[in-house]
Amino acid sequence: MAASVDPLVVERVIGDVVDMFVPSATMSVYYNSKHVTNGCNLRPSLTDDPPRILMSSLNLSDFYTLVMVDPDAPSPSEPYMREWVHWIVVDIPGTGNVSLGREILSYTGPCPPIGIHRYILLLFKQKGPIGMIEQPATRANFNTRHFATHLELGLPIAATYFNAQKEPAAKKVATAA
């Protein structure tokens, strides 16, 4: 098993959201200057804006899909809204520039109501341009596996995740200043 999927297995990203896969690309995620590493903790107030994403080992002639989900909504102990989808971008060119892709569902930052939530970013290789696709009717109860099957994306080629939990109101005010 590839070392880069080990944290994804331990924290049940593989299992809860996607099946076992072997990464064939790298994806580095940054919120401001903070580099996201698997399992790191981020304050939701630092994730209000979409992250900067750097990708490598991509084929310039291919297109890619990025999906961000929270499998712990609304509560890790009772995730009856699993998965809450935070962002979908399709037709990302092989240059890896997410801003050149087509945003199907606009980014919404983490806002966990209770407990520690996992926020997972997954990158899929497309078979070709996606074309017309409707945005999900709701962000709740999204299913990454069904989405990937519907668009014939296969397994992810890269993934990373971070944890976040509700911030005390005093911390939100302090970080805004």
Residue 108 has pLDDT above 70, yes or no: yes
Residue 176 has pLDDT above 60, yes or no: no
Rounded to an integer, the average pLDDT of 167-171 is: 72
Residue 2 has pLDDT above 50, yes or no: no
Rounded to an integer, the average pLDDT of 88-93 is: 97
Taking every pair of C-alpha atoms in the chain, what is the biggest distance, in angstroms?
48
Residues 11/39, Cβ–Cβ less than 8 Å: yes
Give residue 4's pLDDT band: very low, low, confident or very high (50, 70, 90): low
What pLDDT score does 169 carry? 72
Structural domains of the chain in order of their starting residue, each with its CATH number: 5-165 (3.90.280.10)
**Pairwise pLDDT comparison (100 vs 1), residue with the higher score:** 100
In whole angstroms, give the CA distance from residue 69 to residue 121: 7
Instruction: Give how far the C-alpha of residue 11 lies from the chain's centroid of Cα atoms, to the nearest Å.
Output: 15
